[in-house]
């Protein structure tokens, strides 16, 4: 079996308490954690918290790991209209940002990769944003399907950076 080598040449990240790779490294080296009480800007913890584990629709902790500035996405940098950006899950927005940072970290110019056979692999899980949008049907628009569907995440990166080539 022929095995091709794979090299990780650039990285980008967002973690609670660390908005980039350098901050994350410092967090690890200093042995700190970034678990905090739920910020008031996220949700009113008093509405959802109850120490009684048997209470339905309640959480029994006031703590979590939260990313900062998840609302600071610049859609026009990625040639996305502000209208479409509202329908894009924050996970997809963050993926675009860290993909760009990974290319910068690697010293790669995105335009030079355009049209190449570059693979994009993404692990993604929850779809909380989709649940929030569906709860308000008036917020649904033509972008709702591609903006919140997890299977689109890798495709959004490859499309944005033109990382595909015709096979014919």
Question: Is a pLDDT exceeding 80 seen at residue 162?
Answer: yes
Would residue 3 count as lying in a domain?
no
What's the domain count of the chain?
Answer: 2
Rounded CA gap, 57 and 69, in Å?
Answer: 27
Claim to verify: residue 123 and residue 139 sit in the same structural domain:
yes
Per residue in 99-149, pLDDT (tens digit) is 999 999 999 999 999 988 888 888 888 888 778 877 887 778 888 888 888
pLDDT score, position 1: 54
Which structural domain, as residue segments, surrounds residue 77? 69-168
Q: Are residues 63 and 80 in the same domain?
A: no
Examine the fold and report which residue of 68, 83, 106 is the final residue of a domain before the chain moves on: 68
pLDDT for residue 166: 56
pLDDT of residue 8: 82
Q: Which two tokens stand for residue 57?
A: 């629709």
């Amino acid at each position: 079996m022929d095995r091709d080598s794979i090299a990780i040449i650039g990285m980008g990240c967002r973690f609670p308490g660390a908005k980039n790779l350098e901050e994350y490294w410092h967090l690890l080296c200093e042995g700190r954690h970034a678990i905090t009480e739920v910020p008031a800007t996220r949700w009113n913890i008093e509405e959802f918290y109850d120490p009684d584990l048997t209470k339905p629709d309640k959480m029994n902790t006031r703590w979590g790991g939260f990313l900062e500035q998840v609302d600071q996405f610049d859609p026009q940098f990625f040639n996305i209209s502000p209208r479409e950006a509202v329908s894009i899950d924050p996970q997809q927005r963050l993926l675009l940002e860290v993909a760009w940072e990974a290319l910068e970290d690697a010293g790669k110019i995105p335009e030079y990769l355009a049209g190449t056979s570059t693979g994009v692999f993404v692990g993604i899980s929850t779809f909380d944003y989709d649940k929030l949008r569906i709860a308000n049907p008036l917020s649904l628009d033509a972008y709702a399907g591609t903006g919140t569907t997890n299977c689109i995440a890798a495709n959004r990166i490859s499309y944005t950076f033109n990382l595909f080539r015709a096979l014919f």
